[in-house]
Amino acid sequence: MKPLSDIQQQLKSGNFEFTRHAFKRAIERNISEQEIRAVGNNLEIIEDYPDDKYSPSALLLGFTQSDRPLHIQVSRVESDTTKIITLYEPDREEWINYRIRRD
């Protein structure tokens, strides 16, 4: 499985690709490439999905330069690029500190 350090480096350098779903969500939610690159500086894994439907993946939390929280789900398959599965700004009503799902 791809380590977090590789994912961080690939996001920071712009070495990532979107699934069709993620591309649509980035546009709908006004999430820019610059914001995705910025979150690469301070990512943490908040949920790991080793048995995900298509490939192992993880839900990451990072903050943009303007302190906007973003959740980015990425594939953890070893590759030269990071594949973004989906991304969004977490809802405070659904997350504690953007890290733990509320019941």
Could you state, in order of their start, the residue ranges of all structural domains in the chain? 4-101
> By the 8 A CB rule, do 72 and 36 touch?
yes
User: Which pairs with CB-CB distance under 8 Å and at least 24 residues apart come from 29-34?
Assistant: 29/87, 29/88, 29/89, 31/70, 31/87, 31/88, 31/89
**Global pTM value:** 0.94
pLDDT at residue number 54: 87
Q: Percent of the chain scored above 70 by pLDDT?
A: 100
Structure token pair of residue 33? 């490439």
Q: How many CB atoms lie under 10 A from the CB of residue 2?
A: 18
pLDDT at residue number 95: 97
